[in-house]
Amino acid sequence: MKDKVALITGASSGIGWSTAKAFAAKGSKVVLAARREEELASLALEIQNDGGEATFIKTDVSSRQDVQNMVDHTIQTYGRLDYAINNAGIEGQFAPIVDFPDEQWEKVIDINLKGTFLCMKYQAKAMLQAGNGGAMVNVGSVNSFLGFAGGSAYATSKHGMIGLTSSVSAELAPQGIRVNIVCPGFIVTPMHHRVREVAGDERIEEFIEKVHQQRAGKPEEIASTIVFLCSDGASYITGATLTPDGGFTTTI
């Protein structure tokens, strides 16, 4: 992976932050994208101080222009795009369907689902133009196949990502571009802490007790899964859903 270029959205915290660090440790040049510019600058400096190469660009993935600028910045800076990690996402509001605000539904779908679509569209264009193949990894959730009360927008957006991933994989495989999705379970990130505040520690701990490994995961564990899917070791894996969840979804 040395001297390859990895673009990571949602890189300002959590899984995105850890994934950027993991690619940089492999010798990849990394492009950091998110809405929080100050955090991106901090991560870029950290990677550079560790001897890596990194650049960043403020990006709202629900904006077509922002996404196009993000991909253009990648090509202008490093001349290529090898790995695209579409991790940006929000949990949004949790509420009963009868009370769910329309604007909250639109916001979650725009960032989580439309945002992934826009990223893949412009990333694929760049990869196809270069003709060197590549790998994309989308970051879903166990809620890509499990709904929950009050989570209609979030679960719908994550369910949709599986269909998007498998469809685009079928399109791009003949051109040597692999497309997969990772669906993490309970991972200790800022989003996890926000959900705890809403649902309460007791409710979250009830779920974690159902995890076979009896614990929440670490962002670094998801990052290593993503790096593997982009590596030559995963050369025959495309259109797949990997679920690093400690066993949460394997039994009732």
DSSP string, 97-154: GGG--HHHHHHHIIIIIIHHHHHHHHHHHHHHHHTS-EEEEEE--GGGT---TT-HHH
The single-letter DSSP state of residue 185 is -
pTM score of the predicted model: 0.94
* C-alpha–C-alpha distance, residues 93 and 135, integer Å: 32
Report which residue type is found at 249: T
Determine which one of 78, 122, 154, 236 is catalytic. 154
Rg (C-alpha) for the chain, rounded Å, is 17
Q: Tell me whether residue 154 is one of the annotated catalytic residues.
A: yes
Question: pLDDT digits over 29-64, tens only?
Answer: 999 999 999 999 999 999 999 999 999 999 999 999
Look at residue 219 in the predicted model and tell me its pLDDT. Answer: 97
pLDDT of residue 117: 98
Q: Where are the beta strands (DSSP E) in the chain?
A: 5-9, 29-34, 54-58, 83-86, 134-139, 177-182, 241-242
Phi-psi region of 150 (alpha: psi -120 to 50; beta: other; left: phi over 0): left
pLDDT in tens, 114-168: 999 999 999 999 999 999 999 999 999 999 999 988 999 999 999 999 999 999 9
pLDDT tens, 170-228? 999 999 999 999 999 989 887 777 877 776 778 778 888 889 998 999 999 999 999 99
Over residues 73-82, the mean pLDDT reads: 98
Asked whether residue 252 carries a pLDDT value surpassing 70, the answer given is no
How far apart are the C-alpha atoms of 88 and 15, rounded to whole Å?
9
91: three-class secondary structure by DSSP: coil
Sequence spans of domains, the chain:
5-187+220-242
- Cα dihedral 64, 68, 73, 74, rounded to 10, equals 110
> Quick one: fold of 5-187+220-242?
Rossmann fold (3.40.50)
